[in-house]
């Protein structure tokens, strides 16, 4: 199996994620961890779409989801921060 550089992998990830995923990651970077309701409002992503995006980002290791009572709290992982920094510097 051939190894690919992380930048190439992240480029592939970027093309496969919905456009709203960047809004979600950016909101978590700017405002820190929050529950899904707050995240939906802050990122300007419909709640039904947000659940789908969060699952994709969680599977990629870009966000973490923890439970606090009945709420699911989303936060950006270190890998998620690196992903955002890569594309911020490329812009």
Closest by CA to 17, choosing from 49, 43, 47, 46, is 49
pLDDT value at position 75? 97
- Write the DSSP assignment of 63-77 as a string of letters: EEEEEETTEEEEEE-
Rounded to an integer, what distance in angstroms lies between the CA atom of residue 56 and that of residue 12? 14
Confidence of residue 91 (pLDDT cuts 50, 70, 90): low
Mean pLDDT of 63-91: 88
Domains of the chain, with CATH numbers?
Answer: 6-90 (1.10.10.10)
Residues contacting 13, CB < 8 A, separation 6+: 60, 83
pTM of the model: 0.86
89 confidence band (pLDDT: 50, 70, 90): low
- Segment 49-65, tens digit of pLDDT: 999 999 999 999 999 99
pLDDT of residue 62: 95
pLDDT of residue 13: 82
């Amino acid at each position: 199996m051939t190894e690919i550089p992380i930048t190439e992998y992240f480029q592939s990830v970027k093309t496969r994620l919905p456009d709203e995923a960047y809004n979600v990651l950016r909101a978590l970077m700017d405002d820190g961890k929050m529950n899904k309701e707050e995240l939906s409002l802050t990122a300007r992503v419909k709640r039904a779409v947000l659940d789908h995006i969060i699952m994709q980002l969680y599977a990629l290791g870009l966000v973490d989801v923890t439970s606090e009572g009945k709420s699911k709290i989303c936060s950006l992982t270190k890998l998620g921060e690196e992903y955002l920094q890569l594309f911020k510097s490329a812009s």
